[in-house]
């Protein structure tokens, strides 16, 4: 007996956005989610003192149309998340964007590039001289950190589009956290007759008959199935305990899934009993939004313009992948050592100020297996395949299917979910 018109596998932003639109269109929708909560890589936890802490997605990176329209409809407020950019290098603080000698030439060369190649190859081919080593180091570090990407695979074309469309002045945080957006989507789905079933990890999907079945011990049947899982799960080799088996095999789509990059990330959140870093070594850091360093956990940010006692550490890209199986305690120690070195305060003193801490290694999270997608030189063709359904029965959605300057963001996930729902409604 058919359980729904459409089964959606995954209750992250993409799956929930699709479910909202499909239920609004009168479709009977069942969402199957492996976790005991909705949101996926959005995970807001409540805190009595500061209100909320974001273990996953935190920022709105720009004036992004789909995200902001959804928040406006939900009545969720968002605030500017600006602040100064600081650097700590060789024992010294500096403020402002780093002057990168050769950046204008780099963008000129990127704009003239006719055939795509990895950003590492691009830098090697166009900037081989020793004088450009600082530029290359900065670019590669940014690609690994911000995009959580492997520079040996990341597309120069995609990075060119991202850098041409940057608007560092239009950064926002949700007042109350991204969890409010997830709660809104869940309520919208349920109010329109949809259902979300948690702790329901789907192991296989069978599309061999007129309907599609999703199996997780129980068997669920629908006219169509939308797979809205993280790319890291879909890239798992067959036989891996977390992999999803699709029968009959969809070899072209499975090959395409491997052609898009999926990064690695470690996020460390530290809550202290006071904001101790605003006056350090004669420097006024009270408006510091970010500080970049050479430490093992190199990137840190505050809650500016709010003066809350929270520091967030960030390690991305291939280096984060190296710590895939590092114990949380080891990563926590790296974080404290990093702050000790940056602020010139003993490890013991910083630890004594600590009230709570969270280490989130998304790379080993069993339902994610990484951070977010980035474009490789083969991603464009891969998305052309993945955006096509299999016999109008099996569809895909996820931030990895987004094409544009906001790759790897909540905007990308919401946009993909919206497009997937529209595709399903057309057939």
Annotated binding site: 33-34, 202
CA distances from 419 to 108, 218, 363, 375, 400 (A): 34, 29, 27, 19, 13
Token couple for 286? 């009270």
> How many C-beta atoms lie closer than 10 Å to residue 180's C-beta?
18
- Annotated binding site for FAD: which residue ranges? 33-34, 202
Token couple for 376? 């490789």
d(Cα 49, Cα 331) in Å, to the nearest integer? 25
d(Cα 42, Cα 400) in Å, to the nearest integer? 15
Residue 305: is the preceding peptide bond cis (ω within 30°)?
yes
> How many C-beta atoms lie closer than 10 Å to residue 51's C-beta?
13
CA distances from 171 to 58, 60, 63, 82, 244 (A): 10, 6, 8, 6, 36
Contact 291, 342 (CB under 8 A): yes
- Tokens 């890589």 correspond to 41
Torsion angles phi and psi, residue 426, rounded to 5: -80, -20
Secondary structure of 197-229 in the HEC alphabet? ECCCCCCEEECCCCCEEEECCCEEEEEEEEECC
Q: Give the 3-state secondary structure of residue 77.
A: coil
Token couple for 73? 């409809």
| Half-sphere exposure for 365 (CA within 13 Å, toward CB) | 26
- Tokens 């989507």 correspond to 185
- Tokens 């291939």 correspond to 318
């Amino acid at each position: 007996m058919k359980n729904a018109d459409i089964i959606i596998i995954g209750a992250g932003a993409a799956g929930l956005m699709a479910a909202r639109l499909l239920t609004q269109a009168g479709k009977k929708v069942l969402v199957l989610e492996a976790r005991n909560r909705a949101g996926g890589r959005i995970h807001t936890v409540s805190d009595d003192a500061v209100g909320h802490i974001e273990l996953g997605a935190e920022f709105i990176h720009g004036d992004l149309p789909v995200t902001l329209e959804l928040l406006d409809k939900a009545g969720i407020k968002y605030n500017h998340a600006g602040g100064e950019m600081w650097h700590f290098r060789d024992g010294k603080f500096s403020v402002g964007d780093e002057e990168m000698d050769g950046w204008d030439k780099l963008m000129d060369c990127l704009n003239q590039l006719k055939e795509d190649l990895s950003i590492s190859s691009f830098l090697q081919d166009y900037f081989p001289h020793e004088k450009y080593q600082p530029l290359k180091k900065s670019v590669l570090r940014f690609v690994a950190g911000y995009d959580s990407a492997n520079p040996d695979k990341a597309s120069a074309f995609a990075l060119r589009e991202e850098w041409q469309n940057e608007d560092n002045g239009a950064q926002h945080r949700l007042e109350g956290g991204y969890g409010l957006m997830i709660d809104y989507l869940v309520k919208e789905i349920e109010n329109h007759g949809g259902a979300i079933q948690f702790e329901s990890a789907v192991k296989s999907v069978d599309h061999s008959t007129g309907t599609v079945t999703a199996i997780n011990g129980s068997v669920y049947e629908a006219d169509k199935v939308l797979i809205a899982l993280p790319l890291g799960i879909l890239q798992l080799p067959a036989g891996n305990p977390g992999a999803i088996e699709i029968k009959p095999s969809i070899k072209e789509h499975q090959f395409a899934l491997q052609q898009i990059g999926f990064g690695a990330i470690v996020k460390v959140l530290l809550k202290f009993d006071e904001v101790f870093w605003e006056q350090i070594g004669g420097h006024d850091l009270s408006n510091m939004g970010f500080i970049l360093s050479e430490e093992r956990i190199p990137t840190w940010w505050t809650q500016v313009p709010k003066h809350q006692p929270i520091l967030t550490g960030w390690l991305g890209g291939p280096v984060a992948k190296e710590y895939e199986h590092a114990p949380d305690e080891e990563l926590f120690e790296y974080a404290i050592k990093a702050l000790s070195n940056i602020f010139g305060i003993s490890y013991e003193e910083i630890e004594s100020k600590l009230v709570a801490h969270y280490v989130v290694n998304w790379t080993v999270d069993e339902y994610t297996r990484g951070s977010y997608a980035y474009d490789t030189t083969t991603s464009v063709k891969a998305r052309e395949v993945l955006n096509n359904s299999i016999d109008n029965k099996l569809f895909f959605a996820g931030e990895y299917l987004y094409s544009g300057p906001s790759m790897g963001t909540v905007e990308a996930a919401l946009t993909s979910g919206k497009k997937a729902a529209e595709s399903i409604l057309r057939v």
